[in-house]
Chains A and B, each alone.
Chain A
Amino acid sequence: MAGKWQLRDREAERALFSSRLFVASVVCLILFIVLLINLFNLQVIQHEYFSSRADGNRLHSQYVAPSRGLIYDSSGALLADNQPIFNLTVVREQVPDLDAALTLVGELIDLSMEDLTNFKTRSERNRVPFASVPLRYVLTEEEKARIAVNGHLLSGFSIESQFVRHYPFGKLNAHSLGYVAEINQSELDDFDEARRESYGGSNHIGKTGIERTYEELLHGQVGYEIVEKNNRGQVMRRLDRTDPVAGADLTLFLQNQLQATASRALGGKRGAVVAIEPSTGGILAMISEPGFDPNLFVTGIGRAEYAQLVTDEINTPLFDRSTNPYPPASTVKPFIGLGGLALGVIDKDFTIDDPGYFHLPGVSYRWNDYTMRTAIGGGHGLTDLRKAIYQSCDTFFYDLGNRMGIEKIHDFMSLFGFGRSLALDIPYARTGVLPSRDWKSQARSEPWYPGDTINSSIGQGYMWATPLQLATATAILANRGGVVAPRMLKAIDGVIYSPSTEESVSPLKIGEDHLSYVEDAMTMVVHRPFSDVFRDYGTAFEAIAMTDPEMEYKIAGKSGSAQVVGIAQEILQSSDIDTSDLNKDHALFIAYGPAQHPTIDPQIAVAVFVENGEHGSSVAGPIAKAVIDEYLLDILSIDFASIDDSLAEELSQR
């Protein structure tokens, strides 16, 4: 060992090592320089690029949904507001095993197959990474607690609060207000780019009624915020925010109190009530019964509940009876009568001797007076227009209709909004049918027969009108021929909304004496009492004026009982209901009040429709009276006993 050491050349070894270390140092230095060059490339040359990449990592722009405008009734009652609900939401990226987690959630809370399929569609629609997708809406307190307790097993699941539409009065306003519900795929497909953008933060959209008509006003403008998110998608900071603009608050002409009264008066019968303020066309009440709870649709109605609503073919709660047409029957008589006078076809002295039926010249077919069906037979005897109205004499109108011809009937009735929709903001309202030669040749490819005119002149046959149209026509009558367009919206954000109507609403050129004559006749419908004279009372006297001898004001009205046509075969075969009920006539009544008052103009015009109600005067009449009473006496608080000029002034100013 020692020998080896002796042989070593220490200086040579040191020199060798030194040279090797030198080479190593140079290599190290070169490598450090390479490192620095690479860093220079990343941090100086490509700095801009990587900065934007870093911002792209952490900065996310997200939508902030605007809060939906509120809807008030005319007296300030809140008809639609927004209330917080708690939803169970899922961030898919954060759930390690979705199926297992969903199974666990299913054990904790009630989770239906629909919730799961809806969740699947929602998460496919929602392509933004780390976005939370609702799984179950409206958790109860207990469900919230169960989820919270098991929170550690449910990473990626969270409970989020959200404001959704709420309708405090539930089914009462279901058809007129409509409802909002989750935006569906076909609606999304119809959106243009701007609309898609503005609904980026919204889950809901108005589907029916006011909610749909004024969707643009109610929705508001979407806001944005820039948030910083971490690697797990959690929002760490909010950096910039453009506040959303809340939707406009709408005030409707609707009187919730009147809605409630109308609903109560209908008393569970199927039907509709529409009430209009004649001076403005403002819709004071518009209900269709039976209704449905619109709140069910907001958070996604269950399949079973929906099936129940849809399969009820007799009550059809989703069907809006107020804007769908029925045969108007005798309620058209005042208009046709007025037409006869106004067009000079007849005059006030024109009289027929009614045998109880009508023959077209040279035709053997007998048109019976339907109002006589249940009575003892025979006719009304000597009958002028006034009597023909308050006694609802069919024979007179068969004759008058035959004299006028269908074209005159069509043209005159059209002025009152039959066969078209005068409504400004009820686009879904049907127009019914106001038949004419042209209409029949186009719609049915058949010629017009003289008998068709006879049927039409008592509001049967081809003639169809919606309760809304009847109320509108009545309002025009009450307005002394001043045409008004029915409308729901009274004010936007508290500012009175005055629509500019393209169509001229010039008053109809009808002589004042003719109008007074018809008003007189219609007032007699309600107020002409029984007397010794055979068949000389108002058809609605017994049901309206007689029940309220203290009545302080007068109502002008007209009853109608429409023959039921076209009941679906499956309904007739259904064992659920006595089919004879479905064959009963529809009961109708139109009215306005106060009528013939020296100082106060008519304040309300009403149309009542009761499906299979059988008698217009006795079934629909009292409902109309209840609604008019409520409006005049309770809502407007008119004290007819001590009326003074200032009140009359105030009412005419409204």
Chain B
Amino acid sequence: MTRADLTVARLLLGGADRREWWRLALTALGAALGTVFVLCAITVARIEADWNPQDAAAPGWARQYSSELLSDPGSRRGLVVAFLLLLVPVLTFVGQCARLGAARREQRFAALRLTGASPAQVHRIAAGETALVGGAGATAGTGLFLAVRAVLDAANPGPLRLDIPPEAQGGRGGTDMFGSTHVIERLLYPTDVPFSWGWAVAAVLAVALLGGLTTRLALRRVSTAPLGTARRAPRRVPSPWILLLLPASAVAAVPLTALTRDSAKPPFAALLLCLVCFVVGLLTSTAVFSLVLGRFAARRGNSAALLLAGRRLEADPWAGARTHAALVLCTLVGAGTLGVRESVLEGLAAMNPGEEPDPYYGAAFGLALLALAVALAVGAGGLLVGWVESVTEQRRTLAAQVAAGVPASVLRRALLWQTALPLVPALVLAGVGSYGYLVPVSTGMYPLPLFGPAIAVAVAVAACLAATAAVFPLLRRSVHPAELRFE
């Protein structure tokens, strides 16, 4: 990235009109959200152990918090990883935003190419644009983080008397040699960790940089010629055979799972390989379903909506593959988490009948599910953004169809079919995968819990269909006859 690239990117941003604002606003929103997650991860990572670190019984414990998720060093590491993993859907969303406004973008890219910008330079300028917008969004995200932190700080309870064991030396509380109990603050949130501007600047820069890199990656297949014909490098038609990875890895995993339960040396490496094969098959499955089910629906479907949806899916089976992959992954992990949660809580109830299970587990699973809900919302948002873009670009064609007598309701149903045909089977497969694979491997418990994974799949399907239905108002405006008068 040269100074010239950044200068041109800045000029392009300065001249962005209303049609571009929503793309830039969504990019900034994604960057803001990503920065909040990074700052949360940094805060948790910077929690100082209050418990004596030399104490072999509980090294690294931070007793100043009421939740063990923050006190337990192992849980804290998990939290940091979870916050950082949330960057994945957020960056996918930012990448999706870079691909929006394709017609406008092609015009801009072609004009730059005609003026002498090389293909790589055009991509660098686009990445610079995202990095600049991402930087602004990330700065706003830092402000949001500080505001939420202030609210949480006010919500933290005041000093509480604690029963601190006498061996707790070096901590903030304890019983002194005269037997009086020290008072320490027991906090719900880690607002005692001082805010570091150095870390905040690093987070803003990292998110802006990652945004730029994601854009570069998202546009890598888009090459624009100076004459304005944007070409997408042809992608291989997905092979239905890749779906065989799913039953093959599942069949291979069954005896391995049994070994995990019975053997002293569980074959985790082999199981991991099976899981990787399963996930690869699952992530590619939406493109295969688009092609196969799209073709089937177009040939055998007995409604106009199915015909339209089928042909569109068949024409571009990879459309939305990234967003689909994020949603499928989310469902897989979500179904697994709900299944494991159900298993663990049932196990605890069986071990200690009549007692309330340790709230630690409830809180841990609650937090994990919250993170997954955020990831699912971001994924569904990506789906919505994709539909908005698609409808905006096709508005003239759509208006012409309605003018020619196609009922608007058929177009709405076609959109729902376009979402459902590739996604529903893939999401169900994700649930089945979690049910038969993740949960038993993680817990070794049988019978398998069914309710959790089923709920996860249902929620994911509902979120996808709701995101698609959210584009209906735009569709209604787009098919207005006035659209036929304008390019």
Q: Does B associate with A?
A: no
Chain A residues in the interface with B (C-beta under 8 A): none
